[in-house]
Chains A and B, each alone.
Chain A
Amino acid sequence: MEGPEEHSSLAALLDRALAGDGRSAARLMTLLESDVDATPAIMSRIYPLAGHAQVIGVTGPPGAGKSSLVDKLAAAFRAQGKTVGIVAVDPSSPFTGGALLGDRIRMQGRFSDPGVFIRSMASRGQPGGLAKASQNVVALMAATGKDTVIIETVGVGQEEIDVVRVADTTVVVLVPGLGDAVQTMKAGLLEAADVFAVNKADYEGAERLVKDLELMLHLGSSGSAWSPPIVKTIATEGSGVDQLVGSLAGHFDYLQGSGEYLKRRRRAAVAEIDGVLRGQLMSAIARRVPAFDVYASQVAERKCDPYTAADRILRESGLTAEGLG
């Protein structure tokens, strides 16, 4: 645990970040990414302040134009006088832990605007860690006064899709040429959409993709009061961006008018607590059961099954006398 000195320096860092110092906010983001001991103290200070921002998730296949679109969305929000935080999440290599984060290349128009704060994040190969850390960074952006926070992530794996769960409104960006891919695409990605952007509408096949999506939405409509609008965009030229901003505002109004906002917040709260609790339980168990690795080897060699191993580990941890049986 941290000593009193470190504690006071963390408190000072929080004071400075909440007073608007960008460097201190950036330092705190690094701690949220990498320091599990500092995270609870940071979160308990910022969480109550993080409620007012509109959080927008942008996801979709690699190269769909997500960063280009985020750049144009940020410009549109700035034109409305809103400040913007952008969290650009990219998976890191599971082998070296290294990462090459290139989303900023498409956001150069924002670099010298003090009303925009861009942070890139890599996953560092901790399963589940990315979603948690990026949610916390989103909360910090909101607590430091950003009116709108946009979070970009590639919609390939479950973990990446989990990243946008924190969003009030999620835009799924698709491009023509995916063809029949819409039917076979990862179900989780399409279900995450509150709004569809059919980007690269300057390419052939945009109309066909819109039709495919309309058909899919029609067939799959579950009687929900919100049907995701489909907006054609050309991110590089900025066309369609105003309509997209309108759809985002429409969805936000729907959320708040229908009570869906609170329902979503509650669902997100359960997931957040769940994530933290799992992490704490696992590290408490790892501390108390030094033989964890031995059990892992036994399961790997099929000398023991995972259920028996988990039961023994739980008993040995002393967290319950009986196991969970």
Chain B
Amino acid sequence: MVIAKAGMDGHDRGAKVVARVLRDAGFEVIYTGLYQTPESIVATALQEDADAVGISVLSAAHKHVFSETAREMRQQGLDDVILFGGGIIPPGDVEWLEQQGVRRLFLPGTSGPEIVAWLQQAVSAQRASGSGG
């Protein structure tokens, strides 16, 4: 039984490792490869009817990528899709990003099981409150 799908931008091995950890936990993970734009990430999430979108950003563009993705998701009506992410993000930016609509950011050093547990919980809560889908 599927719990979630995540479109993932992998600028690194990190995204692939997380994708594999989620697969092994029973998630169906759509891996999109490198160099995704906010528009392409959201188009993928829409077509795949994803429960969650995870983005890994290692560059300094993290603020732009996350906030634009969140904005594009709202515009496409994907308000109920969980946006989360990881990468090298200055701790000082986390609060701002969460205000933009990123539900959770995992900083380097987070363990796989921690991500899995959080996502399972977040997805089932979202489904319980969801729009009948």
Where the two chains meet, the residues of A that have a C-beta atom closer than 8 Å to any C-beta of B are: 6, 9, 22-23, 26-27, 29-30, 33-34, 92-93, 96-102, 104-106, 108, 111-112, 117-120, 122, 124
Per-residue contact bits, chain B 1-43, to A (CB 8 Å; 1 contact, 0 not): 1100100000000000001101111111111110111011001
Task: Give the interface centre of A29, A108, A118 by most chain B CB atoms within 10 Å.
Answer: A108
The answer for the CA separation of A112 and B76 in the assembled complex, in Å, is 14
Given contacts A26-B48, A100-B20, list 11 more A-B pairs with CB under 8 A: A26-B47, A27-B133, A30-B133, A92-B28, A98-B22, A98-B23, A98-B24, A98-B28, A105-B32, A111-B36, A118-B47
The answer for the CA separation of A98 and B4 in the assembled complex, in Å, is 9
The contact of A100 among B19, B78, B132, by CB within 8 Å, is: B19
For chain B, the bracket of interface size reads: 20 to 34
- Give the chain B neighbours of A119 by CB distance below 8 A: 47-48
The answer for the CA separation of A120 and B46 in the assembled complex, in Å, is 12
Are B43 and A9 in contact, CB atoms less than 8 angstroms apart? Answer: no
- Give the chain A neighbours of B23 by CB distance below 8 A: 93, 96, 98-100
The answer for the CA separation of A26 and B46 in the assembled complex, in Å, is 7
- Give the chain B neighbours of A101 by CB distance below 8 A: 28-31
Q: Would you list 15 pairs from A and B whose C-beta atoms are within 8 A, ordered by A residue? A: A22-B47, A23-B77, A34-B1, A93-B24, A96-B26, A97-B2, A98-B22, A98-B27, A99-B28, A100-B23, A101-B28, A104-B33, A111-B36, A119-B47, A124-B1
- Give the chain A neighbours of B36 by CB distance below 8 A: 108, 111
- Give the chain A neighbours of B33 by CB distance below 8 A: 102, 104-106, 108
The verdict on B95 contacting chain A, using a C-beta distance below 8 Å, is no
Are B133 and A112 in contact, CB atoms less than 8 angstroms apart? Answer: no
- Give the chain B neighbours of A34 by CB distance below 8 A: 1-2
Interface of chain A, main secondary structure: mixed
- Give the chain B neighbours of A108 by CB distance below 8 A: 32-33, 35-36, 40
The answer for the CA separation of A106 and B1 in the assembled complex, in Å, is 27
The answer for the CA separation of A80 and B30 in the assembled complex, in Å, is 29
Which residue of chain B has its CB nearest to the CB of A96?
B26
Are B133 and A97 in contact, CB atoms less than 8 angstroms apart? Answer: no
- Give the chain A neighbours of B132 by CB distance below 8 A: 6, 9
Which 3 residue pairs across A and B have the least CB separation, nearest first?
A105-B33, A111-B40, A98-B23
Minimum CB–CB distance from A7 to chain B (whole Å) comes to: 12
The answer for the CA separation of A76 and B121 in the assembled complex, in Å, is 43
- Give the chain B neighbours of A9 by CB distance below 8 A: 132
- Give the chain B neighbours of A26 by CB distance below 8 A: 46-49
Task: Give the interface centre of A34, A106, A111, A118 by most chain B CB atoms within 10 Å.
Answer: A111
Are A23 and B31 in contact, CB atoms less than 8 angstroms apart? Answer: no
Which residue of chain B has its CB nearest to the CB of A105?
B33
Are B49 and A30 in contact, CB atoms less than 8 angstroms apart? Answer: yes
The answer for the CA separation of A119 and B2 in the assembled complex, in Å, is 15
Minimum CB–CB distance from A62 to chain B (whole Å) comes to: 16
The answer for the CA separation of A101 and B90 in the assembled complex, in Å, is 31
